[in-house]
Amino acid sequence: MRRVPRSRAVMALATLLLTFVNGLAGAASHSDAPLIKQDPQANLTDVYAFVGTKYNDPREKVLNVVVHVRPFSEPGDGVIYDRFADDARYSIHIADPTTGAEVMRYDFSFSNVNPTSPPGLKNPNTILSYGRGTEIGPITNVGDARQNFVQTYSVTRVTADGASSKDNGGRQTLVLGNGLLTPPPNVGARTTPFYNDANGRAVSGATSFAALDQYTRQTVFGLSSGEAVFAGPREDGFFADTPGIFDLLDPRILAGGLGQNGTGVDGFKGFNVLAYAIQIPLDRLPSFEYQSPFFGAQTGVGVYASVSRPSVTIRLASREPRSEGPFVQVNRMGNPLFNEVLVALKDKDNYNRRTPTDDAAFATYARNPEVAVLINTVFGTSFATSNREDLVAVFIPDVLRVNTATGLVRLAGEAGFSRLGFLGGDTTNGVSGGWPNGRRLGDDVVDIALTAVASGPTYAAITVVGDNINANDQVYNQVFPYSATPHAGPTNRKDP
């Protein structure tokens, strides 16, 4: 070791100081707790709800509800991969489609994210969560000796019944399943081979339960109460050209007629999400009469999702060690784009805290859509900017209204499916196959919403407009849990 000459050391010091002159001034002793605006593990991205068949019985009709959370999960994360927050409660609500009042709820609660010892971790002495447990090699069965970490979950049903138990505000709480397994992430061909083809790319588009990959198949659970559930990593099924939209000068947004030629770039391409999903037999569901602005009198239910976290009591007076408070809702979603596009900034958090029964407070955002105002102000068009009762009927209260009497709707990949639903001629018994009647994977909600904004409230002439992205980057499965197989870490479509 040679000693650094003194003059060089001094120079290095001087350089260091010059570099950080600004940094040091005033930053002296402060290291605040973060004040976040993003909360990915609690960030609901999409709620899908549509009528289909039980995963293992094509004769039994069910309501599928698939919820995506945790946007932009990196398939090649490499260290821990995204997991469900173990402190949060992930809920699916069944509600009155007219009032938004919850009549039934399913709560998903997940096990410890970072166990440091068995049984949470089979082998604490490795950096690998997958591919090495008590054995080394590819994962063959979910939870086998090569899958070091498996996150499990429980599902609870809460109904407004209250006949037997009053412990939840006059509601009946029933644990439907416990210790349910989630599948591993798609680490890659060598660790999770059954997700992938010979080239190491994720295989999706299964048309039957038997054709699903083994990990997914092993983690679809039929519960004795009649429901079926799934929770785990999936591909992000949303598609929109957000990069092109943000970079307004990109001509690809302008290309083709009315933004329908598919030359945009899907900003969600190559990313995964976490999904939790349920199949509820139709005969287990309540049924409500409601009005649709497009299809008249309907029979069905309202659906929305939420994520809650426990509050905590910290008051000095209470020195109790146990201090978890009631659950506080931190995120909510029903219809696509409502809170993201229509609700003004100052009310977005407010929206997330409240329930659909309060949504009249937000009706003004649907009735007088700022989007239309902006368009007209900037470009001199004359889209209707007020009295949009058509939009109010879709968004207020903000629950997905699903007609449960239509029979099966067409799935993406099946003949007759249109990403535009009824605008594309895809109806079932006179009702749109997709959003705003429920929502299917593959429904092009950006184009449908923009078309509605541009064409309503009279819909005398339908002008279809969009963002030049018409399909997802991965084919969906046509069987529960429907969301596409998660992209592989090393070979996803984002990093070819």
Interacting positions 264-293 with other proteins (CB under 8 A):
267-268, 271
User: Between 79 and 415, whose beta carbon lies closer to other proteins?
Assistant: 79
User: Between 11 and 174, whose beta carbon lies closer to other proteins?
Assistant: 11
Interacting positions 477-496 with other proteins (CB under 8 A):
494-495
Q: Residues 269, 309, 401, 419: which binds other proteins (CB under 8 A)?
A: 309
User: Between 56 and 263, whose beta carbon lies closer to other proteins?
Assistant: 263
Q: Which stretch binds other proteins (CB under 8 A): 134-142, 147-155, 227-235, 465-473?
A: 465-473
Interacting positions 209-238 with other proteins (CB under 8 A):
238
Rounded to an integer, what distance in angstroms lies between the CA atom of residue 304 and that of residue 93?
Answer: 5
Rounded to an integer, what distance in angstroms lies between the CA atom of residue 443 and that of residue 335?
Answer: 12
Q: Residues 5, 30, 59, 461: which binds other proteins (CB under 8 A)?
A: 30
Q: Is residue 28 part of the contact set for other proteins (CB under 8 A)? A: yes
Rounded to an integer, what distance in angstroms lies between the CA atom of residue 314 and that of residue 333?
Answer: 30
Q: How far is the CB of 340 from other proteins (least distance, A)?
A: 4
Q: Is residue 465 part of the contact set for other proteins (CB under 8 A)? A: yes
Interacting positions 159-188 with other proteins (CB under 8 A):
none
Measure the CA angle with vertex 388, ends 382 and 393; round to 5°. 150
Q: Residues 5, 23, 296, 496: which binds other proteins (CB under 8 A)?
A: 23
Rounded to an integer, what distance in angstroms lies between the CA atom of residue 192 and that of residue 146?
Answer: 10
Measure the CA angle with vertex 228, ends 227 and 234; round to 5°. 145
Q: Cis (ω within 30 of 0) for the bond into 481?
A: yes
Q: Is residue 297 part of the contact set for other proteins (CB under 8 A)? A: no
Q: How far is the CB of 22 from other proteins (least distance, A)?
A: 4
Q: How far is the CB of 405 from other proteins (least distance, A)?
A: 33
User: Between 209 and 459, whose beta carbon lies closer to other proteins?
Assistant: 459
Q: Residues 158, 228, 303, 375: which binds other proteins (CB under 8 A)?
A: 375
Q: How far is the CB of 95 from other proteins (least distance, A)?
A: 23
Which residue, among 276, 319, 17, 62, has the nearest Cα to 151 in the 3D structure?
276
Rounded to an integer, what distance in angstroms lies between the CA atom of residue 203 and that of residue 318?
Answer: 54
10 Å CB burial of residue 389 (0-12, 13-18, 19+) is middle
User: Between 301 and 484, whose beta carbon lies closer to other proteins?
Assistant: 484
Q: Is residue 86 part of the contact set for other proteins (CB under 8 A)? A: yes
User: Between 21 and 460, whose beta carbon lies closer to other proteins?
Assistant: 21
Residue with tokens 């680490």: 187
Interacting positions 314-353 with other proteins (CB under 8 A):
314-316, 319, 321, 323, 325, 328, 330-331, 339-342, 345-346, 348-350, 352-353
Per-residue contact string for residues 430-449; x = within reach of other proteins by CB under 8 A: ----------------x---
Q: Which stretch binds other proteins (CB under 8 A): 111-119, 225-233, 393-401, 421-429?
A: 111-119
Which residue, among 222, 332, 232, has the nearest Cα to 279 in the 3D structure?
222
**How many other β-carbons are positioned within 10 Å of the β-carbon of residue 417?**
19
Q: Residues 79, 163, 460, 461: which binds other proteins (CB under 8 A)?
A: 79
Q: How far is the CB of 254 from other proteins (least distance, A)?
A: 6
Rounded to an integer, what distance in angstroms lies between the CA atom of residue 68 and that of residue 86?
Answer: 16
User: Between 296 and 326, whose beta carbon lies closer to other proteins?
Assistant: 326
Q: Is residue 461 part of the contact set for other proteins (CB under 8 A)? A: no
User: Between 42 and 158, whose beta carbon lies closer to other proteins?
Assistant: 42
User: Between 328 and 360, whose beta carbon lies closer to other proteins?
Assistant: 328
User: Between 427 and 451, whose beta carbon lies closer to other proteins?
Assistant: 451
Q: Is residue 379 part of the contact set for other proteins (CB under 8 A)? A: yes
Rounded to an integer, what distance in angstroms lies between the CA atom of residue 72 and that of residue 56?
Answer: 31
- For other proteins (CB under 8 A), the number of binding residues is 100
User: Between 13 and 360, whose beta carbon lies closer to other proteins?
Assistant: 13
Q: How far is the CB of 201 from other proteins (least distance, A)?
A: 18
